[in-house]
């Protein structure tokens, strides 16, 4: 597994209502160099922690009590210090609506449950190896060609 550069100086927030998933995420991220973790069982506590602390990476479940992962992402993007903090969503149901809403809010990636720890680590290593998205380097959708449109 690829070690994330400077991971030992980064603070990770893990938000999931299942303690076992939080433990798997923590152990996986320790394997690629992360050392400081905050763990919470719901979205409300995740939001409170984001308001109180500087966090360098959020790994958050989509379905949690009190506030879901999409709501956490939306709240986080409204915080000046966390406008560009990497956010990885864990979900057992990656439907198109969730994906589209998350992309609009600047999500960094999805990991579908059940997942292999290596897949989570690879996703996070890729996020930290890539430049932060800017208007200049964001992927633009490919233009739709006439041949791709349905004839009427």
Please list the ranges in the chain whose pLDDT falls under 70: 131-152
pTM for the structure as a whole: 0.84
CATH of domain 7-148: 3.40.50.2300
Going from N- to C-terminal start, the domains of the chain cover: 7-148
41 neighbors 63 (Cβ within 8 angstroms): no
Q: How far, in Å, CA of 137 to CA of 140, rounded?
A: 9
Q: What is the DSSP string of 24-85?
A: HHHHHHHHTT--EEEEESSHHHHHHHHHHS--SEEEEESS-SSS-HHHHHHHHHTSGGGTT-
pLDDT, tens only, 77-117: 999 999 999 999 999 887 888 889 999 999 999 999 999 99
């Amino acid at each position: 597994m690829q070690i994330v550069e400077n991971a030992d100086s980064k603070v990770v927030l893990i938000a999931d209502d299942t303690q076992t998933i939080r433990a798997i995420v923590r152990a996986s991220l320790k394997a690629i160099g992360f050392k400081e973790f905050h763990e919470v069982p719901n979205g409300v506590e995740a939001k409170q922690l984001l308001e109180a602390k500087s966090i360098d990476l959020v790994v958050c479940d989509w379905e949690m009590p009190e506030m879901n992962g999409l709501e956490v992402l939306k709240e986080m993007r409204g915080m000046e210090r966390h406008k560009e903090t990497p956010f990885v969503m864990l979900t057992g149901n990656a439907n198109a609506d969730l994906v589209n809403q998350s992309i609009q809010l600047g999500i960094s990636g999805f990991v579908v449950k059940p997942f292999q720890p290596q897949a989570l680590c690879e996703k996070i290593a890729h996020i930290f190896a890539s430049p932060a998205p800017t208007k200049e380097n964001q992927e633009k959708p490919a233009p739709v060609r006439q041949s791709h449109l349905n004839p009427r």
